[in-house]
Amino acid sequence: MANYTPMIEQYLKIKADYKDSFLFFRLGDFYEMFFDDALKASKELEITLTSRDGGGDERIPMCGIPFHSSSNYIKNLVEKGYKVAICEQVEDPKSAKGVVKREVVQLITPGTVMEGNMLDEKENNYLASITQVDEQTFIIVYNDLSTGENRIARIEAGWDQVISELFNQPIKEIVISQSLDSYYQELLTERLQVTLSYQERTDIANDFMPLVEALSDDDMRQAFGRLLTYIEATQQRSLDHLQPVKEIELKQFMKLDMYSKRNLELTETIMRKGKQGSLLWVLDKTVTAMGARKLKKWLERPLLNQSEINWRYQLVDGLMAQFMEREELREALQSIYDLERLAGRVAFGNVNARDLLQLKHSIGKIPELKQILQSFSTKEVQQLGEVINHQEALYSLLDQAINEDPPVTIKEGGMIKDGFHPQLDQYRDASKNGKQWIAELEQQEKQATNIKSLKIGYNRVFGYYIEVTRANLHLLPEGKYERKQTLTNAERFITPELKEKESLILEAEEKSVDLEYDLFLELRENVKAFIPQLQVLANQVSEIDVLQGFATISESANYTRPVFNQTREIAITNGRHPVVEKVMKDNAYVPNHVSMNNNTNILLITGPNMSGKSTYMRQLALIAIMAQIGCFVPCEQANLPVFDQIFTRIGASDDLVAGQSTFMVEMLEAKHAITNATKDSLILLDEIGRGTSTYDGMALAQAIVEYVHHHVGAKTLFSTHYHELTALDEALDHLKNVHVRAEEYNGKVVFLHQIQDGAADQSYGIHVAKLAALPDALIERAQVILQDLEKTQTIESTNQPPAADDQQQLSFFVSEEQKPKEKQKQPVTGQTKLTKSLKQLNIMDMTPLQAMNELYRLQKQANEEG
């Protein structure tokens, strides 16, 4: 660096501490970037790349953005997953000896943004950390810096559960230790697409110890310490709004793994990755940003505690019962701003007078909110109003202090009301009277000189002046006016009297602005003391908003209050899929019953494609989830067990990012379900086995059904095109056949979308192809091939199995009878080593890679024995 200029040396020294960030280096009214930062930023931000002489052998790449419009550029970079280090001048250039001192005053990262334009008001912006305790145990900490929320959860079932827990959470950045396995780090960036940051320190400063008082576990304290020290290091400002850490007791909530969250499209759709078309889209009738965020949290964590669920039902019932009062409630809630994030901005020090005005107006609505809630006849709804504290002292303080129309900035005055501070009133009076005196002086001078165009003006360079056009200069009396500035067509003058008054006016204005700024900072500090109460109030208001949203959608969509049973029975009368029902027009949705008594654990569903099998399966899962978050459900009646977990395998979703085919995804998801489900779980398996050959698929599908029946006992919906499986109802006591009705009229199939008992009689695959408008020649050829195959099947059913040369299917599982005669060996008496090895394998606990290695070993062993 010896060859560079002192300023570039300073830049490089600071940049060395922020190698993974864009360094916004303040030079005058611009943030400048140099070297690689400039090359990358010019492309990402589409700004001009220039260069400058930095004292070295070559010119240095450079680009810059104006300081006053930097927020949009920062937002652009942060949304793309980058970090931005803000480097400001920290001393007055006039008093600097040499290069002005500069320091990084804030590191803005995807998980720590605070500015409103960078945040989705209906979405939390979580920064998370992962700490590994042992091979199977991990601790996850969540922080939303914009609201101060802190949560922590212990994961004791390995890395897969970590990914499932993080999946679909609004996480932008994860803080970890450098020692975390590199394979895990790659999964986080590739599968969750988050920014990774590193922090090794886990100690907690004394000032923050009250945040972890509820945590008795040292591992949890250290895990929170990792995240907290990262926040301290990046933000370097007040964190008074951070709330005590709340432990997420995962055993209190229904488990929804990554596959179920995706397949059921709870918060976003699979195809478009957007809210529209998801269950959240249907249920979101909230009117506040806080309520929208709370709804999403409830939807991600359905309850297991029946008393808590029933408490929510009582509130929804009470709110539904009185339409007019509920509409008044919604109107009152619409006037309440985002209290959570306003409190965060107060603590963070980036709140302005308009924010405090919003805070005042929001608190001012609370008495009305209490009154409306207490006007309901339901006791539980009344209690919601009774516990709310309307923060009268804070309202009074803000009402006395803040003007009704304050400016956006806090350094130009105009924020504080008259009468709030005596000294400020004196300055304002002096300024106001001085200006009145100026106006009167102008009139006096016009009369004295008889110059009607004479005027008194002001600018920042010359202060106050008397301006006279050149044509009227001869009318000025001699000796009274002192020339101050010459213009093309006029002259500007000052008088001793005007000069004296100018000093008084300007001094009063300057002192007024400075005092007002100081008063605002003092006011902001006073408001900080109310942050804990504001956060409690925000939580109460957000819950009220979610519950009124449940009541609103339940009434408008004709939802019903469900009941729960302890006998594991499912009895849904005319159930509907909430999302499909909403998008269909003219009440065209066909409702269906779901009936599974305590003697039926598996419904084997058959029927043609496009008939509604998958919709029927998802419908049950969504009704269960809605019921366990406290919302009424789309049906006429619902009697349900409380499900501890939901597992799904629905849709052919190749995971190409992880290099997994449809069939591998099927097997992994099926394995995950049957190895983790309990008798209190719900399993949805759609078309298992279709990713491989017919015989392999059928064998796997039957084996899975039997395994769930004999060993798991969970309530299971299993759809299939393998009609041969319908015979299982004779062998399995707890399995029942149902099918989706379809009728054929004049060579065309009509899907009735109705579920009925028994097995389907045929597949209608070619009819579906007709509906898809495939070419007529193709359809006709398919019908010929189908007839030939059906004839062949009839002949084969009366004869011996065909020789291997006649087999048209490729199979993983080939029996001895299907092998070519010349390759068959004589039967081996006794148990071979290969047979013993096969019996000892526990396939369900293997990873795909382990299975491939074991297969290679067995093949080698078979060759040796052969």
Tens-digit pLDDT profile for residues 568-586: 999 999 999 999 999 987 7
From 14, 21, 35, select the one nearest 104 (Cα to Cα).
14
Neighbouring CB atoms inside 10 A of 524's CB total: 19
Q: Does 85 share its domain with 30? A: yes
Task: Convert the pLDDT of each residue in 436-468 to its tens digit.
Answer: 888 888 999 999 999 999 999 988 778 899 999
Q: Are 268 and 278 in contact (CB under 8 A)?
A: yes
Task: Convert the pLDDT of each residue in 518-548 to its tens digit.
Answer: 999 999 999 999 999 999 999 999 999 999 9
Last residue of a domain, one of 538, 556, 574: 556
* Domain contains 455: yes
Average the pLDDT over 761-787 and give the result.
71
* Domain contains 353: yes
Q: What is the pLDDT of residue 426?
A: 85
Average the pLDDT over 115-119 and give the result.
83
* Domain contains 275: no
Q: Is the pLDDT of residue 844 over 70?
A: no
Q: Which domain holds residue 358?
A: 284-391+530-556
Helices (H), 557-612: 578-583
Q: Are 83 and 19 in contact (CB under 8 A)?
A: no
Q: Does 684 share its domain with 600? A: yes
Q: What's the sign of the alpha-carbon dihedral 422, 426, 427, 431? A: positive
Task: Convert the pLDDT of each residue in 588-609 to its tens digit.
Answer: 788 999 999 999 999 999 987 7
Last residue of a domain, one of 469, 501, 524: 524
Match 């920064």 to its residue by tokens: 127
Q: Which residues are annotated as a binding site?
A: 607-614
Structure tokens at 865: 């024995």
The beta-strand segments (E) located in 273-428 are none
Please tell me the number of Cα atoms within 13 Å of 435 on its side-chain side. Answer: 11
- Rounded Cα distance between 339 and 148, Å, is 12
Q: Collect all residues with Cβ–Cβ distance below 8 Å to 766 and sequence separation of at least 6.
A: 779, 782, 783, 786
Task: Convert the pLDDT of each residue in 713-736 to its tens digit.
Answer: 999 999 988 888 999 999 999 999
Q: Is the pLDDT of residue 792 over 70?
A: no
- Rounded Cα distance between 629 and 490, Å, is 77
Q: What is the pLDDT of residue 829?
A: 44
* Domain contains 807: no
Match 């350094």 to its residue by tokens: 411
According to DSSP, residue 480 is labeled: T
Q: Does 368 share its domain with 434? A: no
Match 């009152």 to its residue by tokens: 332
Q: Are 751 and 616 in contact (CB under 8 A)?
A: no
Least reliable range by pLDDT among 97-111, 449-463, 482-496, 841-855 = 841-855
Q: Is the pLDDT of residue 699 over 90?
A: no
Q: Is the pLDDT of residue 791 over 60?
A: yes
Look up residue 275 and give its amino acid. Answer: K
Q: What is the pLDDT of residue 221?
A: 95
- Rounded Cα distance between 18 and 106, Å, is 11
Q: What's the sign of the alpha-carbon dihedral 507, 513, 517, 518? A: positive
Q: What is the pLDDT of residue 488?
A: 87
Q: Does 713 share its domain with 745? A: yes
Look up residue 802 and give its amino acid. Answer: P
- Reported as a pLDDT band with limits 50, 70 and 90, residue 412 is confident
Q: What is the pLDDT of residue 584?
A: 86
Which CATH number goes with the domain that contains 219? Answer: 3.30.420.110
Q: What's the sign of the alpha-carbon dihedral 413, 419, 420, 426? A: positive
Which CATH number goes with the domain that contains 373? Answer: 1.10.1420.10
Task: Convert the pLDDT of each residue in 219-260 to its tens digit.
Answer: 999 999 999 999 999 988 888 899 999 999 999 999 998 888
Average the pLDDT over 5-12 and give the result.
93
Q: Are 263 and 650 in contact (CB under 8 A)?
A: yes
- Reported as a pLDDT band with limits 50, 70 and 90, residue 852 is low
Average the pLDDT over 753-778 and give the result.
74
- Rounded Cα distance between 424 and 435, Å, is 17
Look up residue 142 and give its amino acid. Answer: Y
Q: Which helix (H) or strand (E) holds 854?
A: helix 848-865
Helices (H), 692-746: 694-707, 728-731
**Contacts for 784-789: CB closer than 8 Å, 24+ residues apart:** none
Q: What is the pLDDT of residue 691?
A: 65
Q: What's the sign of the alpha-carbon dihedral 508, 510, 511, 516? A: positive
Give bridge partners of residue 89 from the DSSP assignment.
Answer: 102
Q: Are 454 and 448 in contact (CB under 8 A)?
A: no
- DSSP string over 62-89: EEEEEGGGHHHHHHHHHHTT-EEEEEEE
Match 């109030």 to its residue by tokens: 537
Q: What is the pLDDT of residue 431?
A: 79
The 3-state secondary structure of 422-448 reads HHHHHHHHHHHHHHHHHHHHHHHHHHH
Q: Is the pLDDT of residue 824 over 50?
A: no
- Reported as a pLDDT band with limits 50, 70 and 90, residue 866 is low
Last residue of a domain, one of 60, 78, 108: 108
Instruction: Collapse the DSSP code of 721 into the 3-class scheme (helix H, G, I; strand E, B; otherwise coil) and give the result.
Output: coil
- Rounded Cα distance between 479 and 448, Å, is 14
* Domain contains 500: yes
Q: What is the pLDDT of residue 504?
A: 81
Percent of the chain topping pLDDT 70? 89
* Domain contains 822: no
799 sits in the region (left: phi over 0; alpha: psi -120 to 50; else beta) called beta
Q: Is the pLDDT of residue 659 over 70?
A: no
747 sits in the region (left: phi over 0; alpha: psi -120 to 50; else beta) called left
Q: Collect all residues with Cβ–Cβ distance below 8 Å to 392 and sequence separation of at least 6.
A: none
Q: Does 504 share its domain with 602? A: no
- Rounded Cα distance between 796 and 779, Å, is 26
Q: Are 301 and 253 in contact (CB under 8 A)?
A: yes
Average the pLDDT over 19-27 and give the result.
95
- Rounded Cα distance between 197 and 513, Å, is 42
Neighbouring CB atoms inside 10 A of 444's CB total: 9
Q: How many residues does the chain have?
A: 866
Could you tell me which residue, 190 or 232, shows the higher pLDDT? 232
Q: What is the pLDDT of residue 807?
A: 42
Q: Does 605 share its domain with 725? A: yes
Q: Does 620 share its domain with 701? A: yes
Q: Is the pLDDT of residue 812 over 50?
A: no
Q: Does 596 share its domain with 736? A: yes
Instruction: Collapse the DSSP code of 840 into the 3-class scheme (helix H, G, I; strand E, B; otherwise coil) and give the result.
Output: helix
Average the pLDDT over 322-327 and give the result.
96
Q: What is the pLDDT of residue 477?
A: 87
Match 């008495």 to its residue by tokens: 367
Least reliable range by pLDDT among 221-225, 273-277, 297-301, 375-379 = 273-277
- Rounded Cα distance between 133 and 141, Å, is 13
Q: Does 143 share its domain with 98? A: no
Please tell me the number of Cα atoms within 13 Å of 685 on its side-chain side. Answer: 31
Q: Does 291 share its domain with 176? A: no
The tally of domains found in the chain comes to 6
Q: What is the pLDDT of residue 766?
A: 61
Could you tell me which residue, 214 or 784, shows the higher pLDDT? 214
From 441, 457, 452, 499, select the one nearest 475 (Cα to Cα).
452
Which CATH number goes with the domain that contains 780? Answer: 3.40.50.300
* Domain contains 402: no
Q: What is the pLDDT of residue 561?
A: 98
Q: Which residues are annotated as a binding site for ATP?
A: 607-614
Least reliable range by pLDDT among 472-486, 654-668, 775-789 = 654-668
Percent of the chain topping pLDDT 90? 61
For the chain, what is the mean pLDDT?
Answer: 87
Neighbouring CB atoms inside 10 A of 818's CB total: 14
Q: What's the sign of the alpha-carbon dihedral 825, 827, 830, 835? A: positive
Q: Does 633 share its domain with 778? A: yes
Average the pLDDT over 290-310 and give the result.
96
Task: Convert the pLDDT of each residue in 120-141 to its tens digit.
Answer: 898 999 999 999 999 999 999 9
Q: Does 705 share its domain with 853? A: no
* Domain contains 621: yes
Q: Is the pLDDT of residue 668 over 90?
A: no
Q: Collect all residues with Cβ–Cβ distance below 8 Å to 622 and sequence separation of at least 6.
A: 264, 279, 577, 578, 579
Taking the mean position of all CA atoms in its chain, how far away is CA 655? 22
- Rounded Cα distance between 826 and 821, Å, is 11
- Reported as a pLDDT band with limits 50, 70 and 90, residue 743 is confident
Give bridge partners of residue 63 from the DSSP assignment.
Answer: 33
According to DSSP, residue 255 is labeled: E
